[in-house]
Amino acid sequence: MTHKHLAWPALFVFVARAVRQLVSLVLVILVFFSWRSLTGEAAFWGFLAAGVVVVATIVAAVIRYVRFTYAVTPAGITINRGLFERKVVHIPYAKIQTVQRQQWFFLRPFGLERLTIETAGKTDDEPEGELPVVPVTVGQQIDRYRRAPTNPTVATDQPTTTTARPGERQFQINRHDLRLYALTSMGIVPILLAFFWLYDKLTTIFSDEVVDDALKHLNVIQIGWQIALMVAVLVLSLLTSYLTIIQRYYRFTLTKKRSTLTMARGYFQRSRVSVDQQRIQAVHFKQTLIRQWARLVTAQVLTADQAGKSESDHNLVLLPVLRRSAMVPTVSGFIDWLPDRLPTIKRVRSAARWLFIRNCVLVWLGALLVAGGFIWWQLPKGLPIYLASWLLWLPLAVAQGNYAARQTGVALATPAVVCVQHGAWFSREQYLIPRRCVQSLEINQSVWMARRDLVHLTLEVRAGNDNKSVEARFIDSKTARQIRDWYLPQDAPEYQTA
């Protein structure tokens, strides 16, 4: 087997990473220098030392590049790397959870891309295998080996049901839905926060006099202009958020080839993630309030690796936008264990609904009281207005609790898949979890809930390098016990509640 080096642009990647590590050090040194007035001689030695550090870093990055080799063999992927401590990583194909291939537009003419290989290993925050810049043929080779039926370990891992439907299946989201999705996204909130943060930074960096001066100028400007400025900021944020999402999910295509699902997306950076459908731990459907009005759903999958770390919920996006009516039929065409339609979920009892509302109101009251104390302390004049606004907040709390109660429930979708649903902050979330992926089950009950015969049911699922607790709160204890009986191995003697 031959060990290959990365493609030459990888050198820039290593240098860039090393420089990024240096930036904080350089900043500290600069602050130190600006704080103390230095003599010419000291400054000379200081800059010389800084130069030596920079050169050493670049040399280290070059050595890192030279030492980095990889080999793709029928047995697995081997990566040799490390500057002082030499590391050799072996990844057998049977243990790969996901492979990500990311290609920036400027690397497209060269046929180069970044490859990351994830396993279920929990030890590190980094991907288990990363090839920063390699020819696309490497990724194709790995895909071939992963699918190879001759590989005995792969063959035993896959149940025969997956081969029942051979051939390829593809789904591309249409432009209209993507536009609607981008418009209904909440992406504007972080961007507005970023603006406020920037404003805050500006006021701390510049002295008060400068800010006062600027504010005086602002006062001179007509009120109309101020409003225009605010509108411009708002429109700019909306546009940025809109374009970011369009760019991110540009031509999102989900492909199924035998048992492997591939999600491809992105305009500037085309990213392809591939995962075997048997490795999917759960499917997650999510609808925010606005998207419930637009009848759009996002479908995500939970996997046992970090491939979805950069996504919003740390889950891999299966399909960013889908019509609610087409949701289950579309996704079940790609994931064999998914049912063709969702089960009807029995709503919680009215006693439970009251508990949802009570808890929600209590949480809101707590937050309102803390905010009230703060206002009383800082801005006593604003207190009456603030108290009047409770007329708005408290009905909202009741509505939120009521919404959560209406969404909560659990039911079996098929004999092998459970469906858990809940609502938080007016967004509806549904989880479909195969029995084999439920790692453990908890039934929790406080002594006060015992009177009403209600329990919380929690299913623990592996997601990323951690666990995801999927919970249905205040459900009937009978329903919860039915789910537990379904979950526990058939030959288990009944577990008695003493």
Partner 1 sequence: MQTEQLPSQIKAVWTYSALISGGVGLLISVALWLTHVYLNWWFWLPLAAVGLSLLDVIVELAVIPYRYAFSRYRITETAVYVRTGVFFKHEIAVPINRIQNVTLAAGPLLQFKQLREVAVDTAATRYSINGVTVPVAERLRDQILQLAREARDDA
| Interaction site with partner 1 (CB under 8 A) | 120, 157, 278, 304, 436, 438-447, 460-463, 466-468, 484, 487-489, 491-498
**Which CB atom, from 167 or from 493, has the smaller least distance to partner 1?**
493
CB of residue 95 to partner 1, shortest distance in Å: 10
- What are the DSSP E strand ranges found in 211-340? 253-257, 260-265, 269-276, 282-287, 296-302, 316-323
CB of residue 433 to partner 1, shortest distance in Å: 11
Q: How many residues can be counted in the chain?
A: 498
CB of residue 142 to partner 1, shortest distance in Å: 21
**Which CB atom, from 86 or from 451, has the smaller least distance to partner 1?**
451
CB of residue 337 to partner 1, shortest distance in Å: 14
**Which CB atom, from 226 or from 440, has the smaller least distance to partner 1?**
440
- Which residue shows structure tokens 């990213």? 271
Instruction: Please check whether residue 302 is in contact with residue 284, taking contact to mean a CB–CB distance below 8 angstroms.
Output: yes
CB of residue 152 to partner 1, shortest distance in Å: 14
Phi, psi of 268 (to 5 degrees): -75, -40
**Which CB atom, from 319 or from 438, has the smaller least distance to partner 1?**
438
DSSP 235-251: HHHHHHHHHHHHHHTTT
Specify the 3-state DSSP secondary structure of 3. Answer: coil
CB of residue 497 to partner 1, shortest distance in Å: 8
**Which CB atom, from 46 or from 121, has the smaller least distance to partner 1?**
121
CB of residue 253 to partner 1, shortest distance in Å: 29
**Contact residues for 101 (Cβ-Cβ < 8 A; gap 6+):** 113, 114, 115, 136, 139, 271, 272, 273, 274
**How many whole angstroms separate alpha carbon 396 and alpha carbon 402?**
10
- What is the b/e burial string over 113-122, where b = at least 16 CB atoms within 10 angstroms of the residue's CB? bbbbbbbeee
- What is the b/e burial string over 360-393, where b = at least 16 CB atoms within 10 angstroms of the residue's CB? bbeebeeebeeeeeebeeeeeeeeeebeeeeeeb
**Which CB atom, from 114 or from 284, has the smaller least distance to partner 1?**
284
**Which CB atom, from 321 or from 437, has the smaller least distance to partner 1?**
437
Q: How many alpha carbons fall within 13 Å on the CB side of residue 382?
A: 11
CB of residue 283 to partner 1, shortest distance in Å: 17
Q: Contacts from 74-79 at CB under 8 Å and sequence distance 24+?
A: 74/145, 74/148, 74/151, 77/117, 77/129, 77/142, 78/1, 78/3, 79/129, 79/130, 79/131
**Which CB atom, from 133 or from 463, has the smaller least distance to partner 1?**
463
Helix (H) or strand (E) holding 122: none
CB of residue 12 to partner 1, shortest distance in Å: 38
**Which CB atom, from 226 or from 439, has the smaller least distance to partner 1?**
439
- Which residue shows structure tokens 């700019």? 236
